[in-house]
Amino acid sequence: MNPDYVEFRSGVVSPMECIKEGWALIKDDYWLFFGLTIVSILVGGAFAIILMGPMMIGLFLCMQQRQRNQPVEFGMLFKGFEQFLPGLIVTVLKTIPIIILLIPYYIFIFGMMATHMPRDHASPDDVQAFMASFFGVEIGFFFIIFVVSMLIEIFFMLAYPLIADRKLSGMDAVKLSFRAGKANVGGIVGLILLNALFGMVGLLCCVVGVYLYIPVAFASQAVAYRRIFPDTGQTFPAPPPPPGNWA
């Protein structure tokens, strides 16, 4: 499938409506989707870049199955491994910008500690000045990471669902996700921020609340995806990759 000819809608993501519809999507089998979400995060996180892609694809396959009013079984989560390589490519591309930021950050921090850290018998003023500079750098870096992470999520949020739904290659899914994310940037930003806010509220509720909310956050993303890419009713079998094409 050529992603240049895949149609999508723009300006159709309403953050609060997506969250409400996401809850309605999974509430009848909430604990099943809770288990699917937690397992996908734990397995994907334990093996970092390698398994996060197929686990996320499997999770969105389950969400899309429910959106079609079809039964969802736990084993369906692992069908994401049928699209292992595309999922891996998306995860690697998502991770590269963060790695690029982390390398100079750690070089700067270690250099700062080696050259400016107060030694024995340093005056309180020197210690205070160093700590102020150190935390100033930390706050500045946190802000940069936040902005970069937001941009990454805006333009990559639809990539895993696209692979699950349309069986696109990794590069094609990223390109199409970028285009569709750009056309729906306001709604996607609002959805990300609202999910983050509800997650923080859950964190304040004895921590466990954030874990209980995570399935709803993923379901809201599945709803946003379906608003942007309506279900065509077609199935898209994964084609065998051409020789030498690893995308």
Instruction: Tell me what the mean pLDDT of segment 14-42 comes to.
Output: 96
**Does the structure show a pLDDT above 80 at 115?**
no
pLDDT, tens only, 174-198: 999 999 999 999 999 999 999 999 9
- Burial class from Cβ neighbours inside 10 Å (0-12, 13-18, 19+) for residue 113 reads exposed
What is the spatial distance between Cα 189 and Cα 152, in angstroms, rounded to a whole number?
Answer: 11
What's the pLDDT band for 246 if we cut at 50, 70, 90?
very low
Q: What is the CA radius of gyration of the chain?
A: 21
Instruction: Tell me what the mean pLDDT of segment 193-220 comes to.
Output: 92
Average pLDDT over the chain reads: 88
Instruction: Tell me what the mean pLDDT of segment 96-107 comes to.
Output: 85
pLDDT, tens only, 116-173: 677 766 677 777 877 888 788 778 888 888 888 889 999 999 999 999 999 999 999 9
**What does the CA dihedral 8, 9, 13, 14 come to, rounded to 10 degrees?**
-160
**Orientation angle between helical segments 159-166 and 49-67, nearest 10 degrees:** 60
Contacts of 1 (CB under 8 A, 6+ apart): 166, 167, 168, 172, 236
Run of H or E including 15 = helix 15-26
Which of these, 49, 44, 1, 50, lies nearest to 175 by C-alpha position?
1
DSSP string, 147-216: HHHHHHHHHHTTHHHHHHHH---HHHHHHHHHHHHHHTHHHHHHHHHHHHHHHHHHHHTTTHHHHHHHHH
pLDDT given for residue 129 in this prediction: 78
pLDDT given for residue 247 in this prediction: 41
Higher per-residue pLDDT: 189 or 106: 189
DSSP string, 212-243: HHHHHHHHHHHHHHHHHS---S---PPPPPPT
Q: Which residue has the tokens 């300006």?
A: 11
pLDDT given for residue 234 in this prediction: 59
What proportion of the chain, given as a percentage, has pLDDT over 70? 89
